[in-house]
């Protein structure tokens, strides 16, 4: 049966300049959602870049969460010739190390937006950018550049949930309306991942792991943004806690 102990979930940090100095930071909405809705203890993982440090962090964690970010993964990580700044090379390296360490240890891995993309790339998948096409995308997945923060995270569209997947079990709905704040999308799917949802234009909106010791669940949207207003986002956070507690009971 699942453990009643609060699980400890590591949250990847980004590197930003604060008061003229480099800083490791995480938006509070990710940390708060884990604590409030997953009933978990969040611990911020700095983007230091050695495998020994990643392994040592992972040994003390029950699961990891890869958050969204305004940075993109550097294109050489997924075999592309070019990409779009801003980049965060320290986070690129540390997130890949943590993902691989968690998979090797059989510990849950969760992702949101950039986090979904990091999981896909770490498992050998690729990314594409909606802005690289000759024509505007059929379904824009990002609000206009001049949108306010509220408008940006309010930009939404429907998705189709794939039956008999973890997301379907969590939400119990064939169609969801999700917010959308991204340009990059999954190209080739990473090894061991299955699609859980797609947008009407075919863009992958959620993935999970195939059967095995490591539970992976990642979404392309932002369930941490005002989750109390959407039942499926609350369900996502509750599932993260349940999956992690179940894993710690094994």
pLDDT tens per residue, range 35-44: 999 999 999 9
Confidence at 3, pLDDT banded by 50, 70, 90: low
Please tell me the pTM assigned to this model: 0.95
pLDDT at 136: 73
pLDDT tens per residue, range 184-203: 999 999 999 999 999 999 99
Which whole number is the average pLDDT over 105-131? Answer: 96
pLDDT at 249: 87
113 is catalytic: yes
pLDDT above 70: percentage of residues in the chain = 97
Which whole number is the average pLDDT over 149-168? Answer: 96
Q: Which range, of 27-36, 53-62, 211-220, averages the lowest pLDDT? A: 211-220
Could you tell me which of 218, 213, 221 has the C-alpha nearest to residue 240?
A: 218
224 is catalytic: yes
Domains with residue ranges and CATH for the chain: 8-248 (3.40.50.880)
Residue 193: φ, ψ to 5°: -110, 150
pLDDT tens per residue, range 235-250: 999 999 999 999 998 7
Confidence at 49, pLDDT banded by 50, 70, 90: confident
Confidence at 218, pLDDT banded by 50, 70, 90: very high
Burial of 219 per CB tally in 10 Å (0-12, 13-18, 19+): buried
Please count the CA atoms within 13 angstroms of the CA of 16 that sit on its side-chain side: 11
Of the residues 45, 113, 141, 157, which is catalytic? 113
C-beta atoms surrounding 46 within 10 Å: 17
pLDDT tens per residue, range 82-99: 889 999 999 999 999 999
Q: What angle do CA 73, 165, 79 make, to 5 degrees?
A: 25
């Amino acid at each position: 049966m699942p453990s009643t102990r609060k699980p400890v979930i590591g949250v990847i940090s980004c590197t930003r300049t604060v008061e003229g100095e480099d800083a490791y930071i995480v938006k509070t909405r990710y940390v708060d959602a884990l604590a409030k809705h997953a009933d978990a203890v969040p611990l911020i993982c700095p983007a230091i870049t050695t495998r020994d440090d990643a392994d040592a962090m992972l040994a003390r964690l029950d699961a990891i969460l890869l958050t969204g970010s305004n940075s993109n993964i550097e294109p050489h990580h997924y075999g592309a010739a070019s990409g779009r700044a801003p980049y965060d090379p320290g986070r690129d390296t540390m997130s890949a190390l943590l993902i691989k360490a968690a998979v090797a240890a059989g510990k849950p891995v969760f992702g949101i937006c950039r986090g979904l993309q990091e999981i896909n790339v770490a498992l050998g998948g690729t990314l594409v950018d909606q802005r690289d096409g000759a024509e505007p995308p059929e379904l824009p997945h990002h609000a206009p550049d001049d949108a306010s923060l509220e408008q940006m995270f309010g930009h939404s569209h429907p998705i189709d949930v794939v039956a008999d997947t973890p997301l379907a079990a969590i939400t119990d709905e064939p169609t969801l309306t999700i917010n959308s704040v991204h340009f990059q999308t999954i190209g080739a799917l990473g090894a061991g991942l299955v699609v859980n949802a797609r947008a009407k234009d075919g863009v992958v909106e959620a993935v999970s792991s195939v059967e095995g010791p490591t539970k992976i669940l990642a979404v392309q949207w932002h369930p941490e943004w005002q989750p109390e207003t959407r039942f499926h986002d609350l369900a996502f956070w509750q599932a993260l806690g349940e999956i992690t507690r179940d894993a710690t009971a094994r």
